[in-house]
Amino acid sequence: MNKQQFILTILFFCVSILSIQAQDEGKKGGLFVRANVGYAFEAVHTVQGVDQDREQMSNIYGSTAPGLNFGAGLGYMFNDYVGLELGVNYTMGAKKFSEVQAENLPLGLEGGGSEFTLLDAYIFERYTHQSTQLRLIPAVVIRGGNGKVVPYAKVGMVVPVMGKTKTTVDGSLTTTSIPTSIAGFPIPGFTTEGVSLVGTVDAEAESFGQFSVGFDATVGVDYQISDKISIFGELNMTALTIKSKETKVLRYDGVYDLEGSPMSLSELENTINTGIQAINLIPGVDIGTLDFGNLGLYENISEVPVAEQHFIYVDQLNSMSNNPMFNSQFNENLPEDQLARRDNNSSIGINVGVKFNF
């Protein structure tokens, strides 16, 4: 549903309710406000990520919806049976986890006439995802009359107006010993035996979605405490998917330790490359260069190329997209284009609250 359809639907509801009001003038009704708290559970399971270890990979099913929600609403009953309500809801999703493990990942040299593996690496990454949203929920209210205990139902739209998914990554890296020779050629200036690279990564990213509209339905029971105050319990169902818009990496901290060597990561890179340049002077030999950045090893966000910290989601990738798989002119100083996805935010929830009638 696009914005125009959404506006027309709301206008249709308003006109319908106003016509009902005109037919039932003189019957009891009035203004009310309510507040509630509740918890939402997964309604539909879709693929949310993967768990991967050294032997297998498996899908993670679920949704981004489960978690606490806090709501408030302002409404008007035209009579004892029909009214309108504008609800505001803040959802704080439960944390979701996924893990990736990779062993014997080859880290090689870049740009040479032949490919050489410098060392193998074992990588472990743990991802934590949590979504938050602020939603508007315009709805039609239908009550079962007036009394001590009154059933009711609400049907309307759910419109996220603010929201994001926060992802944190905790990773570790352990490599085999860095060789003192490549392709049979000793690396001049690098003679330390048994040096391996051990590192940790702590990163944080935020993902945002496009304008989306979903469906919201509620059934509940009001218990009248006094003429002005009632408490309620309700069962709520939300059907909502949100199309991805963009992801931005906000923080990246990499800490690396060269076991068995006092050199820093940049010092190691410079030492090995100095030796490789000498090897490349041998006629017919070109083994490339070492760039820890090309191997995905960075120490802070300023070293990370824009294309690895900002992603734009699109419906199609082609030769005009800034994506290295489709565009030979890929620019790492621009955000990378990736295929869009739809995140499942559907849920079934239970709410309790209090309502004040005026």
Per-residue pLDDT band for 193 (boundaries 50, 70, 90) equals low
The pLDDT, as a whole number, for residue 254 is 85
Domain residue ranges in the chain: 3-134+145-233+243-320+330-357
pLDDT-based confidence at residue 22 (cuts at 50, 70, 90): very low
Q: Predicted confidence band at 124 (pLDDT cuts at 50, 70, 90)?
A: confident
Q: Give residue 96's pLDDT band: very low, low, confident or very high (50, 70, 90).
A: confident
Residue 99's pLDDT is 75
pTM of the model: 0.76
What is the mean pLDDT of the segment spanning 106-131? 70
b/e 277-313 (16+ beta carbons within 10 angstroms → b): eebbeeeeeebbbbebeebebbbeeeebeebbbbbbb
Query: Which residues of the chain form beta strands (DSSP E)?
Result: 30-42, 46-52, 57-62, 67-77, 82-93, 96-108, 117-143, 149-175, 181-182, 185-186, 196-209, 214-224, 229-239, 241-259, 310-314, 336-339, 342-344, 347-357
pLDDT at residue 200 above 90?
Answer: no
Which carries the bigger pLDDT value, residue 261 or residue 134?
Answer: 134
Q: What's the mean pLDDT in 306-314?
A: 95
Nearest CA to 254 among 123, 344, 86, 353?
123
